[in-house]
Amino acid sequence: MSQVNFIADTGQLEACEDYINNRLGHAPLAIAHFTTREKAEAWLKGLEEPPSSVLILIGDEYHQMWHDRKDNTRGMYREYMLEPYVEGLVAEGIPPNPPSFKTRAEAEAWLENHPTAPFEFVSIAGEHYLAVHHQRLKRHTLHHVASTLTQWEERKRAVEREEAQNAVVEAEGENE
């Protein structure tokens, strides 16, 4: 109840309600954006009491930020939040004539005046990208479809290998 009161008292009730009702229709929520990892790390180190287990954007990639209050350690790692969205949207089909641009800068300028809701495919130099509108951050990220799907498949295979290795270690431990 205290959390709900905090949300209401800080004027975030409508935003919270929108998130709950439409969270699958929004990009995963990131609390901050940085152009480089160095800037994100400097921000994280400068916080007296950082939030724990929240998402931030570095460039166009999600990162999970963490903080252990017991020993005040903190860090971040690459998080694959958007890749399942890209996979699902591509499976539904890329529209036949998405907005087309010669350069990324042209696409970004167009997106400033045509915010996606929250996802829209665009074409840049003949390649498909998924434009993602981060409403709270008032910005868009652009995700090259082909390389995003490749990275996602590699990540899924890495997780499968890790799980298989863990199963072998557990089985060996049980046999001893």
**pLDDT of 123-171, one tens digit each?**
999 999 999 988 888 889 999 999 999 998 999 999 999 999 988 888 8
pLDDT tens figures, 53-73: 889 999 999 999 988 888 888
Question: For residue 84, which of 124, 33, 143, 41 has the smallest C-alpha distance?
Answer: 143
The strand pairing partners of 73, in sequence order, are 68
Instruction: Give the count of alpha carbons within 13 A of 127, CB side only.
Output: 14
10 Å CB burial of residue 8 (0-12, 13-18, 19+) is: exposed
The answer to whether 142 and 122 have CB atoms below 8 angstroms apart is: yes
Question: Cα dist. 146→38, 118, 123, 154, 168 in Å?
Answer: 27, 20, 12, 12, 33
